Structures are given as C-alpha cells and as structure tokens.
Structure 1
C-alpha cells in the first residue's frame, strides 16, 4: 500500500514538474514572441513611475497580452529597476522583450510632443511638433520667434504636460553670442551665463534638455562636444597642412563654415585658403570683415562698405596677413574635417556664381571673368526687383 502511494506521489510530482516546465516555456514564448499590438502607440513613462504601472498601461492599450508576464520577464532580465522616463514609440507586433529594452535603455525619446528651440544664423525659432504614431511623421503644431512673437497658448499648454520633450538645435555657423542670447530666451532653462563662451567652442548639434536645466550646463555640454570634434579633426589632419595648432584649425574651419552653405564645396573652399596660406597670400574673405564689424553680435543685415573693407581690425583678412586671431563662428564637423584634410586643387580664387555656390579659379584672369559674370547676375536681379 505504501509503495503504491509513494509511486502515485512520484508520478504526480513528475506531472507537476512537467506542467511547470511547460508553463515556463509558454511564458517565455509570450515574452519573446510578437506582441498583439496592431497599431503603433506612444507610450508615456513618467518620472517616478514603476514597472507595474507601465505594464498595466501596456496591457490596457493592447500592447502586451499579460502585464504579469511582462513584469516577470523584466525581473528575470534584471531590468525592472532600470525604467527610464520618456515617450516611446511602440511599433505593431513589438514583443515584450523589445518593449522592456525600449523603456529601460533610455536616451532620446522617440515619440510624442516635442519642442525644438532652433538657433539659426539669421533667426531664432521655437517649433512645437507632435509625432503621429501611425505615420511615423512629425506634424507641426506651432512655430514662433520667442523674442518677437506672442507665445501661442498651445505651446504653454503642451510645455507643461508630462512627456513633452525639449531640444536645442544649433545651426552650423552661429556665433557664441547668438547661442547665449537664444538660451536666455528659452523659458524652460534656468540660471545665468556668467561668461560668453569663446568663439568656435560650441558644437552645432541637437541637444536634449529638460525643464529646469541650467543654461551653463547646456553650454558645458556643447563645449565638451566641440572639444572632442576638434581633437578628432586635428588627429586626422593632413601632414602638409600649413596650420600649427588645433586653435588655428578651428579658426580656418569657422571661415570655411561662413563662406559656403553648399556642403559639397567645403573641401574646395578649404583648398583655396590653404593654397593662399602656402603662397603667403592674404585670405581676403568677406565673413572675417563682417565679424570685425559685428564681433559676432548679430547679423550685419546689409552689404559691406568700402570703408569697412579697408578698415584695419584683427579680423579683416584684406588687411592682415594669415589667419585672424579667433574663430568667427562655431563650425560644424564637416568644416573641421575640410580644414584638416583639404583636397589638392590649383584654386586660389572663388566668387559667387548665382546658384548659391561658387566659381573657382586658378588664375587672376579667370577669376576676373567669373567676377564679371557675377556682377551681371547681380545687375539683372536688381532690375527684376525694381
């Protein structure tokens, strides 16, 4: 009898273990397999929340079949305590494993409402936009100049909502003064900027910020990024480059940045200046003259006068030899690379060609013909505008 009872107990234990193993395998398949979501959603993970609330939200929105399995999977992967606040785009069919990775990896949010503070060379703008999960495209909700326009109500409303993300986007070629003045106008940032950052020391890029961030800390991030870019460009520089220090490389890159808005031309423009430096010719570039007039505090807003072209300033490369003493703007990575590794060309002249780009020349005669062609284009445009 006891032998029979023991045999039945062993059999029952085997059955239970088999069932438990099958349940675990089923749970694993549920965790790593495609999820039930049929349309993309934007998952909001607020600061201070926990995995239980997130899993319940996902189950309610139909993104996971079981909130309990989602939590157990996160626990098993040791990620339950690594939840990161943000707005995350969950695509159709995303597995629980993929969603756990999404909300614990951190970094930039991938959907929801976004406020972008754009710092441009000629204007500053605030853009409020929202990503449509179904199309994956941002739709603009409002745009305004924070220093000139009335603040739209929708901006005030969305700015205060949880999950709204904020970015500062610096255009290539902005000056440090423009950056600081723009940061002062951003009402989500706090604190003063005690010193104007050195010209050229801020990396043009897009920076995620949070309400309450200190302006000085945002500037420090920009400076750290630019230091890395300068170091990388300097390390990869051409051995024949007539530049002696990373600081001089930065000055040259800033001139290249201001001379052309055509990405494909940066190398040719760099080659002209390098050829001029090698030959002992003055750089004779208008953007340096403009910087001598404005010192980077805003745009000139008009053409240069002959008196300004002749006026001696530390930056007037029609008057001084070699490079000016400081950069004239904050150059981007492409201009730094062009300055460090310019292509070999015979060009020592260039002038606008009417298309937004430039005509390059090796000889003065060729350059004079290009200048005459440009003057004709300017005359035609003046006639058309009258």
Structure 2
C-alpha cells in the first residue's frame, strides 16, 4: 500500500509539473522580448526547427516544444522559410506560424519610370538577396513591388520582374486599339517610357501619348527632354538645365535632333503608360508645356503653344526660377 501511495503522489507531482510546463512553455508568453528572425531550412525536421527556435530565443526548450507539438499539435508539417517571430509569441503560436508558412516577406520596390540603373542599385542594396547581376535591359522590368526571401538570388528576382513585363506587354498588346502610332510591342515600350517620364499625373498619360502619336504620324520630331537626358545620366536626374549642345547631339536617343522614336526605352514604364500608348486619347494636340501646377497645357497649333510657353515662362519668372 505504501508503494501505491508513493506512486500516486509521484503521478500527481508529475501531472502538476506537466500542467505547469503547458501553461508556461506552451500557452504562455514566449521568452523573446522583441521580434526575432528564424530560418527554417528546406527539408528541416521539427527537431531541427525547434533547435533553431531555441537558439534564436523564440522558445524556452526545444525538447518540450517538440513534445507538446506532437502531443497537442494537429500533425501538420512545418514549412521552410524565414520567419519573423513576434515578441512574446507563445510556443503554440510559433508552431502555427511555421505550419501555416507565414514567412517573412521582404520587398524590393520598382517605382513607375525607374531606369534600369536604379533598379540594379535597389537590387544590390536589398537585404537578404545574394549573388551579382548585370544591369537589366532598359524597359524590360515591370514596375511593382516584388517579394523575396532571404537567400534568393538577385538574378532570380530580375527574372521574375522581366517575366512580369513580358506577360503584361503581351496581354496589353492584344488589347491595342487600331491605328496607333507604334507597330510592335518593342516600340510600344519605347514610347511608353517617354510618356512615363513626361508626366506624373495619371489623368494626363493618354493625352501625352496622343501628342506623341500625332507627331510620329506626321513625321515630326518628338522633342522630348527626357530622351536628351538619358544618354547623359542613363535615366538618373540631370540636376541642371539641358545644354544647347546636348539638344543638338545625335546619339540615337535625342528626339530634338532626329525624328521618330529613340533607339531604345529610356526607363521602365508602368502598366498605365503602356496602356496609354496602346489606347491614346482622341486629340489633335501636337504640343504641351508645363502649367505650373504639376500638369501640362496642350495645344493643337504652334501659335497656341507659343502663347502657353510665354505663360509658363512668366510663372517661372515670378517664382525666381529664371
């Protein structure tokens, strides 16, 4: 009887200890005082993941984590990836995080109109990406925010960016309106890159596209300042006024010195600018100039345009810019 009593007492003690561990280690607040990063390698077992979690300070005990996971978990497999474990997350919540694969998302952003040289800089600065990559071909990247995980290669991210552009351009080209000024998807990207750099107002894109379409159809030079700047800076801001010698330079890009499209894109245009080129506004406008509000005023004749230019110069004089 004495032995049976001792055994019962021992079971009670062990049961109390298990309940304490359950409350403290499994359901209670975790030990991490701040969010911690944990990488679960591809093919890692629950034991390997538990060791990584304990090493990072996300859980108290790898052994007890595994035990409770097997006893109380739903049996779902854990998923590989980089995780941001919240501060004081319970071990139960950590297991759910790994089972649901809620990996940390890192993003590299490509704004509309970004030249490829700046895309390359953003990729090289992106934390967690590995490997080198060449500057992508201008106009080959679709502006967007691209998710990646730590350890992904820069080349793989560029491949996804370029596939996104190819896919979008192919779909947009099928929707093009008849009678547009460009005859190939490649020409559409070139013209869209100019439209992208000429206006920051979404509502103006189709009208700017119409101006350049009208000029192309008449054999008029496009006279787009961004095409003059591109050979000088590869798309980065010039930071000064364009020189007369630069306006006369013949380099394949200068649309003042030569009629027609430049030899290649001058930036990576976004979806809206591509769409504008493939469906420009109905307009007879051949000219536009800044209106002082961030937008432009459009004109059908040179006489109207010259009057608008005078108004723009007056605004700049009043601002002390000239």
Over 3 Å counting, the alpha-carbon distance change for 1:70 and 1:275 in structure 2 is farther
* Correspondence 1:225 to 2:201: no
Q: Which of 101, 105, 117 lines up with 1:177 in the alignment?
A: 117
2:210 aligns to what SS in structure 1? helix
* Correspondence 1:196 to 2:143: no
Are the aligned partners of 1:50 and 1:83 in contact in 2 as well (CA < 8 Å)? Answer: no
Tell me by how many angstroms 1:382 deviates. Answer: 1.2
Which residue is 2:249 aligned to? 311
* Correspondence 1:292 to 2:288: no
The structure in which a higher percent of residues are strand is 1
Q: Which of 341, 359, 369 lines up with 2:307 in the alignment?
A: 369
CA distance in 2, matches of 1:362, 1:224: 39
Are the aligned partners of 2:108 and 2:122 in contact in 1 as well (CA < 8 Å)? Answer: no
Over 3 Å counting, the alpha-carbon distance change for 1:230 and 1:104 in structure 2 is farther
The structure in which a higher percent of residues are helix is 2
Which residue is 1:343 aligned to? 281
CA distance in 2, matches of 1:329, 1:376: 31
Which residue is 1:168 aligned to? 108
Q: Which runs of 5 or more residues in structure 2 are unaligned?
A: 1-34, 59-67, 87-94
- Number of matched residues? 269
User: Deviation per CA, 1:98-121, whole angstroms, max 9, x where unpaired?
Assistant: x97x87665775xxxxxxxxxxxx
Report matched runs for 1:122-271 at 5 Å: 165-193=105-133, 195-271=134-210
Q: Which runs of 5 or more residues in structure 1 are unaligned?
A: 1-41, 58-65, 90-98, 110-164
* Root mean square deviation, CA, Å: 3.5
Q: How does the TM-score come out when normalised to structure 2? A: 0.72
* Correspondence 1:357 to 2:295: yes
Segments of 4+ moved more than 3 angstroms? 42-46, 48-54, 66-72, 82-89, 102-109
CA distance in 2, matches of 1:175, 1:207: 16
Are the aligned partners of 2:298 and 2:305 in contact in 1 as well (CA < 8 Å)? Answer: yes
Tell me by how many angstroms 1:83 deviates. Answer: 4.1
Are the aligned partners of 1:273 and 1:348 in contact in 2 as well (CA < 8 Å)? Answer: yes
The structure showing larger relative contact order (alpha-carbon pairs under 8 Å, at least 6 residues apart) is 2
CA distance in 2, matches of 1:225, 1:105: 27
CA distance in 2, matches of 1:321, 1:46: 55
Tell me by how many angstroms 1:183 deviates. Answer: 2.2
CA distance in 2, matches of 1:363, 1:253: 24
CA distance in 1, matches of 2:295, 2:287: 13
User: Deviation per CA, 1:56-115, whole angstroms, max 9, x where unpaired?
Assistant: x9xxxxxxxx9899844xx5xxxx2364654599xxxxxxxxx97x87665775xxxxxx
CA distance in 1, matches of 2:287, 2:85: 51
Are the aligned partners of 1:316 and 1:324 in contact in 2 as well (CA < 8 Å)? Answer: yes
2:196 aligns to what SS in structure 1? helix
Are the aligned partners of 2:46 and 2:78 in contact in 1 as well (CA < 8 Å)? Answer: no
Are the aligned partners of 1:84 and 1:104 in contact in 2 as well (CA < 8 Å)? Answer: no
2:146 aligns to what SS in structure 1? strand
Over 3 Å counting, the alpha-carbon distance change for 1:246 and 1:82 in structure 2 is farther
Which residue is 1:144 aligned to? none
Tell me by how many angstroms 1:308 deviates. Answer: 0.9
Q: How does the TM-score come out when normalised to structure 1? A: 0.61
Q: Which of 63, 74, 81 lines up with 2:77 in the alignment?
A: 81
Q: Which of 273, 278, 297 lines up with 2:217 in the alignment?
A: 278
CA distance in 2, matches of 1:235, 1:284: 29
